[in-house]
Amino acid sequence: MIEVEASPQYALVLHPVLGREGVKHSKLKLEEAALLTEALGVKVRASQSITVREIKASNYFGSGKIEEVSAIIAEHDINLVVINTALAPIQQRNLEEIWNTKVVDRTGLILEIFALRAATKEGRLQVELARLGYERSRLVRTWTHLERQRGGQGFLAGPGETQIESDRRMLADKIGKLQKDLDQVRRTRALQRTKRKRAPERVVALVGYTNAGKSSLFNRLTEGGVLEKDMLFATLDTTHRILPLPSGQNAVMSDTVGFISDLPTDLVDAFRATLEEVKEADLLIHVRDMSDPLSEQHKQDVLQILDSIEAGPNHDQSMIEVLNKVDLVSNEFRASIIGNSKQNQSSFMISCTKNIGLDTLLDGIETELTKSDHVVNVTIQPKDMQVRAWLHQHGIVLDEKILELGECQMRVRLTSVNAGKLHTHNPQVIN
């Protein structure tokens, strides 16, 4: 059998600089776009920031810039141009025609990466739904002038698939069916979540910008087994593992998809169910990459996304900040971080690779989780045994003894909400 090699993808990455974006900032954003492109398994042949004085409705760039880019495309055999902004469908299509290459904007790029990474059924359905939502606005697009370059179900796939999608009604049907499948998968997930909620273990969810080190921390603190890689969006699907706490008790930790600035709304919507988990966690751990020059801006991006899903400190959810990768920062910078974190008790400096600060962080997690807990001593009469079952379900039983007459004595750790419920509904059992 003769194997036909797919033609290689050589990408040109462009970061449009509008207004007064600083040189340093645009350089970093360009680097991020190049990393995103590489996360697709595409080779970046050239990359550059490109000043845009006025956005043109039809082609985005003015004719001079378009010619400059044409020259780069010819010089480097480029067959994919990534433009690090959101393009209107018409702009994208016109540029594809002028340059005779594929053109992908930032949203398309992120969706494509998600399509590649999604491994679970829910993940795949969510990405597919987001992709169709994005494609719906681009139905007029024609791919026929572009040869098929890669298989798979992503955007860079060939014309066969997109031709089908050019039928609006079929697309609507497809979206409807996907939505139904997704609802089914989500019902199962909600059920699992309810089960987890009923379990006494608290849930600690890792959140943060992509590549901050969430999975690395997850693997250090739990049995792990999650992929940690220097690649944007290495993790897409959520994983749960037992998190052993210093006192010997257990919590559950979840590792999930990372955030990025300008996360496409279609994607945030599609991943709402995954993000629900974040929202319902007892504690969030915001992992930050302190070696990243845009760390502060990424922090703001993460807080904003959390806000948009009604999670995080602005929504009464406890959160710890973890300053990761301190092994990579200068001594001066580290000293300044220490200075700042002294003022902020819920901030921990760590390095996953050098094993720095992990024990202190674990203590901090336990303290935060049990901060508002109440330890209650109870004696339950045989007629009240349903209270015993409730306590086992909702609390952490620290000690339990059955007395001769069948009474049950217990010492139980309860969240303040559950302690309140016990006081209201079964005050007779409290010693």
The site for ligand GTP (CB under 6 A) is made up of 208, 210-216, 228-230, 232-235, 258, 324-325, 327-328, 351-353
Q: Which does 212 bind (CB under 5 to 8 A by kind): Mg ion, ligand GTP, none?
A: ligand GTP
Q: Which does 264 bind (CB under 5 to 8 A by kind): ligand GTP, Mg ion, none?
A: none
Nearest residue to the partner ligand GTP, using Cβ: 258
> Closest distance between ligand GTP and the C-beta of residue 346, in Å?
19
CA-based angle 328:330:333, to the nearest 5? 110
Q: Which of 226, 251 has the CB closer to ligand GTP?
A: 226
Q: Which of 26, 215 has the CB closer to ligand GTP?
A: 215
Report if residue 215 touches Mg ion, rule: CB under 5 A.
Answer: yes
Residue with tokens 């037992």: 242
> Closest distance between ligand GTP and the C-beta of residue 232, in Å?
6
Report if residue 234 touches Mg ion, rule: CB under 5 A.
Answer: yes
> Closest distance between Mg ion and the C-beta of residue 107, in Å?
21
Residue with tokens 């007064």: 20
> Closest distance between ligand GTP and the C-beta of residue 241, in Å?
14
> Closest distance between ligand GTP and the C-beta of residue 353, in Å?
4
Q: Which of 135, 321 has the CB closer to Mg ion?
A: 321
Q: Which of 215, 238 has the CB closer to Mg ion?
A: 215
Q: Which does 249 bind (CB under 5 to 8 A by kind): ligand GTP, Mg ion, none?
A: none
Q: Which does 216 bind (CB under 5 to 8 A by kind): Mg ion, ligand GTP, none?
A: ligand GTP
Q: Which does 211 bind (CB under 5 to 8 A by kind): Mg ion, ligand GTP, none?
A: ligand GTP
Query: Where does this chain touch Mg ion (CB under 5 A) — which range of 210-218, 276-284, 313-321, 394-402?
Result: 210-218
> Using an 8 Å Cβ cutoff, are 301 and 260 in contact?
yes
Question: HEC states along the chain?
Answer: CCCCCCCCCEEEEEEEEECCCCHHHHHHHHHHHHHHHHCCCCEEEEEEEEEECCCECCCECCHHHHHHHHHHHHHHCCCEEEECCCCCHHHHHHHHHHHCCEEEEHHHHHHHHHHHHCCCHHHHHHHHHHHHHHHHCCCCCCCCCCCCCECCCCCCECHHHHHHHCCHHHHHHHHHHHHHHHHHHHHHHHHHHHHHHHCCCCEEEEEEECCCCHHHHHHHHCCCCCCCCCCCCCCCCCEEEEEECCCCCEEEEEECCCECCCCCHHHHHHCHHHHHHHHHCCEEEEEEECCCCCHHHHHHHHHHHHHHCCCCHHHCCEEEEEEECHHHCCHHHHHHHHHHHHHCCCEEECECCCCECHHHHHHHHHHHHHCCCEEEEEEECHHHHHHHHHHHHHCEEEEEEECCCCCEEEEEEECHHHHHHHHHHCHHHEC
> Closest distance between ligand GTP and the C-beta of residue 217, in Å?
7
Q: Which of 185, 231 has the CB closer to ligand GTP?
A: 231
Nearest residue to the partner Mg ion, using Cβ: 235
Q: Which of 217, 378 has the CB closer to Mg ion?
A: 217
> Closest distance between Mg ion and the C-beta of residue 235, in Å?
3
> Closest distance between ligand GTP and the C-beta of residue 218, in Å?
7
> Closest distance between ligand GTP and the C-beta of residue 229, in Å?
5
Q: Give the one residue of 37, 49, 94, 235 binding Mg ion; rule: CB under 5 A.
A: 235
Site size for Mg ion (CB under 5 A): 4
| Sheet arrangement for strand 374-380 | 374-380, 408-414, 396-402
Q: Which of 85, 324 has the CB closer to ligand GTP?
A: 324
Residues forming contacts to Mg ion in the complex (CB under 5 A) are 214-215, 234-235
